[in-house]
Structure 1
């Protein structure tokens, strides 16, 4: 029987797949592979989707494809792995992610042929890997991820608490229900995930168990997410070798503002907390129409701040260089919007020790 914290991670991955649709990522199934065996790269097996690399097939429970292809590049596919644990995510998890994407990106067969007919081009992809953690990452995991461009996204921010609570309660209810069932009647993890995926993404493959004691908490989780539709996660892409996971209690307020001003200047606050590492806050420079927050793993933050002497000058360097242009994609009604948030170094301002009422801590404001 699956462990409780593992089940929490699996359910969180399904929730993230639902949330990341708004960032332009579409969850893939084996039906999205136009090639037939033996040339296919996606395949459904007993435990779910697998994807072909150069040396092996790899489990791909949550594999998304970005809707647009960057200029002079390959279509982008993203592995999303979620860890909902008490302990920080360690080096083995990050190293595994690197091994997977390295093997996939080395799968360099460029043409297809049935042996008698002409060769035809084979579609290739660029695979990336993102690990989401509710408890942070160890130092060696962060250093390895930074060196190999594995994205680490911290879900421990206060704004993520409602989302964490929804997943935690649902996982505990499902776990207790499954535990009380005879082993022969227990649904598999794949069936549980597939049932939730049906409700969130309208991807329905096979029937799941009819045991209401198992499906009820999954229905409650899906309904809770829809009621909190303004609470979401959006991926943001700065001019740096990592991505940002931005969150807001009213993400739609940001979208409304950004649709009116797709490119606009912002202020950045680095908020010092008495417990935990700092949180970064993004607001429009004119007014207070929205608030976006994100957190960086400690070693990643130390790396980007360790560029100049002095905390304030390092913070200034960070925003002037790495956060000077942040690109976001937002999908609604099958239409994709592109937004850019700009920090202008000419307008640099800094205030130490200014209280932020929402956090009760001091901040550097840029």
Structure 2
């Protein structure tokens, strides 16, 4: 039987798939491929969805595709892996992600000959990989991820506490119910995931031949997520080898402001609080009370950003400043995609990290933004 810790990770991946819809990502199933063999890139097998690589098929527990194709690029697909444990993610996890990513992106067979017709091109995609974590990464895992452009997204920030509690409770209740069942009646992980996808992703709820004691906590989880309408996660894309997962306890406070100011300047600062790693906060430069977004950075990623020693060449400093001068966010409103750009001065990151926190009031000193 699946362990409670592994079940937490699987449920968290399904919740993340629901949250990432606001950033323009739709969860894929084998039916979304639209191709027939031998052109198919997705298949459904006993343990779930698999993706065709150059050398093998790879399991993709959660795979999303960005709804719009960037200019001069391929359609973008994102592998989502979540770890909900009390130990840090090790190098082996990130190395496995890199192996999968390398193989699927090397699937370069552009045409396939068939006996019944002419050669035709195979659709290609640009795959990315993001690992979402609640307890941190080892140093070598961080360094490897940064070198190979695998994004590490922090879910330990306070704004995600409610989300973590919901997933933890659901996993515990499901696991307890499963322990009371005979082995022949235990549902598979794939059945549990597909059942939860019904209410979360508007997919047809797959029937599951098990006791209601197993499925009831999944329904409670879905209802709790929908009732928490302000809970959200937005992916921010700086011109850097990683993405940022931005959280807010009042997500729509940010959206209301950004719809009126699609491009605006922001202020960044480190929060004064104890914890395993620093947290950063984003506020509008012109209206700091309008919203607050927070994010965490793995230690090695932060060190890469803050590395401004005197030995650093001016060219390297210019590259870092130009890469980290803005971040782009996407917000889906039905079928319409809004694009926001948040601009900032890289020098502020350095100043804030070294303790110059006097130029901006603390979050507790700011008035709360009005509600809609």
Deviations 1:63-111 (A, max 9, x none): 0001111111111100000000000101000000000010001111101
Change (3 A) 1:319 1:160: farther
Q: Secondary structure at the match of 2:114?
A: coil
In the alignment, is the contact (CA less than 8 A) between 2:19 and 2:232 conserved in 1?
Answer: yes
CA distance in 2, matches of 1:198, 1:13: 14
Change (3 A) 1:357 1:212: same
Shift of 1:247: 0.3
The answer for the alignment partner of 2:242 in structure 1 is: 242
The answer for the alignment partner of 1:34 in structure 2 is: 34
Deviations 1:233-269 (A, max 9, x none): 1100012110000000011111111111111111111
CA distance in 2, matches of 1:332, 1:300: 32
Change (3 A) 1:79 1:234: same
- Pairing 1:1-366 to 2, within 5 Å after superposition: 1-204=1-204, 206-287=206-287, 288-308=289-309, 320-344=321-345, 352-354=356-358, 356=362, 358=364
Moved more, 343-352 or 157-166: 343-352
State the TM-score, normalizing by the size of structure 1. Answer: 0.92
In the alignment, is the contact (CA less than 8 A) between 2:105 and 2:127 conserved in 1?
Answer: yes
Shift of 1:34: 2.0
Q: Secondary structure at the match of 2:156?
A: coil
In the alignment, is the contact (CA less than 8 A) between 1:257 and 1:289 conserved in 2?
Answer: yes
Change (3 A) 1:110 1:180: same
Q: Secondary structure at the match of 1:207?
A: coil
Instruction: Give the aligned CA root-mean-square deviation in angstroms.
Output: 2.2
In the alignment, is the contact (CA less than 8 A) between 1:305 and 1:318 conserved in 2?
Answer: no
In the alignment, is the contact (CA less than 8 A) between 1:62 and 1:80 conserved in 2?
Answer: yes
In the alignment, is the contact (CA less than 8 A) between 1:27 and 1:63 conserved in 2?
Answer: yes
Shift of 1:209: 2.6
CA distance in 1, matches of 2:231, 2:276: 22
Q: Secondary structure at the match of 1:26?
A: strand
Count of residues in Structure 1 that have an aligned counterpart in Structure 2: 354
Q: Secondary structure at the match of 1:215?
A: helix
In the alignment, is the contact (CA less than 8 A) between 2:173 and 2:217 conserved in 1?
Answer: yes
Deviations 1:5-28 (A, max 9, x none): 000000000000000000000100
Deviations 1:280-308 (A, max 9, x none): 11001111211001111001111111123
Q: Secondary structure at the match of 2:117?
A: coil
In the alignment, is the contact (CA less than 8 A) between 1:263 and 1:340 conserved in 2?
Answer: yes
Q: Secondary structure at the match of 1:141?
A: helix
Moved more, 336-345 or 192-201: 336-345
Structure 2 gap ranges (5+): 312-316, 366-372
Runs of 4+ in structure 1 off by over 4 angstroms are: 316-320, 344-351
Shift of 1:46: 0.7
CA distance in 2, matches of 1:13, 1:86: 17
Change (3 A) 1:317 1:244: farther
In the alignment, is the contact (CA less than 8 A) between 1:50 and 1:58 conserved in 2?
Answer: yes
Q: Secondary structure at the match of 2:128?
A: strand
Change (3 A) 1:61 1:55: same
The answer for the alignment partner of 2:314 in structure 1 is: none
CA distance in 2, matches of 1:353, 1:264: 21
State the TM-score, normalizing by the size of structure 2. Answer: 0.90
